[in-house]
Amino acid sequence: MEFDYISFLKDLYKLKLYLLKHEKASTIDELSDYLSLALMTRDRFGINIEEELYSNKKHMYKCMHNYNMKQLDILLNFVNSNCDDLFQLSTNINDAINPNIFDCLFVEYGNFYNKVKKYSEKEFKDLIYPFFAQYGDNTLKAVKDLIENKRLLVGAVQKTDDDHDHDAFTAGSAVIGKTYILTYIDSMILENIVLLVHELGHAVDLQHTMLSQSKKYTAADPMCEVPSCFFEISFADYLVQNRIETDLANNIILAKLSAIPRQFLKYHKMLTSPSDFLVNTDGIVVFDNGTGLKGSNLRNDLYYFIGTMMAANALMIHKDNPKEFNKKFSDFLGLKQEQTLKQNVETLGINYDEFLSCELIKPYYEEKSNELIKRYKYLV
């Protein structure tokens, strides 16, 4: 897919000029937007962009420190305020996971590896545009605007050590009024398209924020992965409903609902005794009281866990009443940063007790688990 490098660099320069002109008045959020976009140019294009915008470096470092501390406060407050509920939610979903599912998924992916279809650019658009159209004109418009104006890069340069395990990255700014997605994927196979749908979910959320006066999009928001995870799981379900690579799509859903909750299990000790642990401003556990959590990325693991669980429940609500759900989802995008976990869950039309008990999603998960395990009885 073609990417408009010139427009991207012009937008980055425009944001840089804005920050230089409004050095004292500009917010740390705007500086963070610039640094995110500048990081794209370094890691994806091999172009080094000056990151130190402020003439008073001491002021800039103070701003960044305050920003990082604010992110840490949000994370720790969320954990401390929801310890019991997170423990209950994690326990209930993991009780539903058949441990044999992981071996079955491993063999299944091996069987698919050399047989996957590669989609053309036209096939990619024909696949995702009808899907996003289900969620309203504004959602489809945001997705089309990004793709048709060449702000989606597929097949960027090699990863650097700073990128860790991320295969895609979404960033934007209200100053330029645009969002960009850059990825490392080099082929349009279905698994990669699901990843792109996840990132497009971030872009939809970001675009909604640019038009909203009620909140500021930030990766520190514990709900930041909910829209992207919702579109990701919903898209895989959409493929199943439309008989498009059904087995692979089912396995993507199953892997998402199994691996992420299982990954979060290791934090149970922290949830029962949060004061025994220390976390740095990157969300990394730096003291674990001998439990083996040191080095774990609490922020990523927690936010993806919350995103996945809320997304799976939201999909059940959407299946029951799509029109009503779309309205609630729009409300959620506008209000999510200002609400508690319970309020966010209920804004999506999900009963909070059913959310914690996993009663709404267990039948859906068990159905898909049983289908896969039947094919690999010899592993069970």
Segment 220-247 shows an average pLDDT of 93
pLDDT score, position 336: 52
pLDDT band at 165 (very low <50, low <70, confident <90, very high): low
In a domain, 358, yes or no: yes
What range defines the domain where residue 100 resides? 82-120+210-380
pLDDT score, position 234: 97
Segment 101-109 shows an average pLDDT of 83
Q: Indicate if the pLDDT at residue 316 is higher than 90.
A: yes
Q: What percent of the chain has pLDDT over 90?
A: 50
Short-list 280, 284, 277, 281, CA closest to 301 = 284
pLDDT band at 305 (very low <50, low <70, confident <90, very high): very high
Pair 297, 283: CB distance under 8 Å: yes
In a domain, 186, yes or no: no
pLDDT score, position 247: 86
Q: Indicate if the pLDDT at residue 26 is higher than 60.
A: no
pLDDT band at 172 (very low <50, low <70, confident <90, very high): confident
Pair 37, 51: CB distance under 8 Å: no
In a domain, 142, yes or no: no
Query: To 5 degrees, how large is the angle CA 254–CA 282–CA 78?
Result: 65
Segment 10-30 shows an average pLDDT of 77
Q: Indicate if the pLDDT at residue 164 is higher than 50.
A: no
Q: Indicate if the pLDDT at residue 14 is higher than 80.
A: yes
Residue-wise pLDDT for 333-356, tens only, equals 876 556 789 999 999 999 999 999
Return the minimum-mean-pLDDT range out of 32-36, 45-49, 190-194, 350-354: 45-49
Segment 141-153 shows an average pLDDT of 94
Q: Indicate if the pLDDT at residue 69 is higher than 90.
A: no
Which range among 174-178, 233-237, 333-337 has the greatest average pLDDT? 233-237
In a domain, 332, yes or no: yes
pLDDT score, position 92: 96
Output the average pLDDT for the chain.
86
In a domain, 349, yes or no: yes
Segment 127-149 shows an average pLDDT of 95
Q: Indicate if the pLDDT at residue 163 is higher than 50.
A: no
Residue-wise pLDDT for 110-119, tens only, equals 776 667 789 9
Return the minimum-mean-pLDDT range out of 56-60, 210-214, 243-247: 210-214
In a domain, 200, yes or no: no
In a domain, 294, yes or no: yes
Task: Give the span between the Cα atoms of 268 and 253, in whole angstroms.
Answer: 24
- The larger pLDDT score, comparing residue 366 to residue 23, is at 366
Q: Indicate if the pLDDT at residue 182 is higher than 50.
A: yes
Q: Look at strands 278-279 and 178-183 and give their pairing.
A: unpaired
Residue type, 235: F
How many domains are contained in the chain?
1
Q: Indicate if the pLDDT at residue 323 is higher than 90.
A: yes
Residue-wise pLDDT for 208-223, tens only, equals 776 555 555 566 789 9
pLDDT band at 253 (very low <50, low <70, confident <90, very high): very high
Q: Indicate if the pLDDT at residue 160 is higher than 70.
A: no
In a domain, 94, yes or no: yes
Task: Give the span between the Cα atoms of 158 and 85, in whole angstroms.
Answer: 40
Segment 168-182 shows an average pLDDT of 87
Q: Look-up: residue for tokens 């949830």?
A: 271
Return the minimum-mean-pLDDT range out of 46-55, 86-95, 144-153: 46-55
Q: What are phi and psi of 186, to 5 degrees?
A: -120, 5
Task: Give the span between the Cα atoms of 22 and 241, in whole angstroms.
Answer: 51
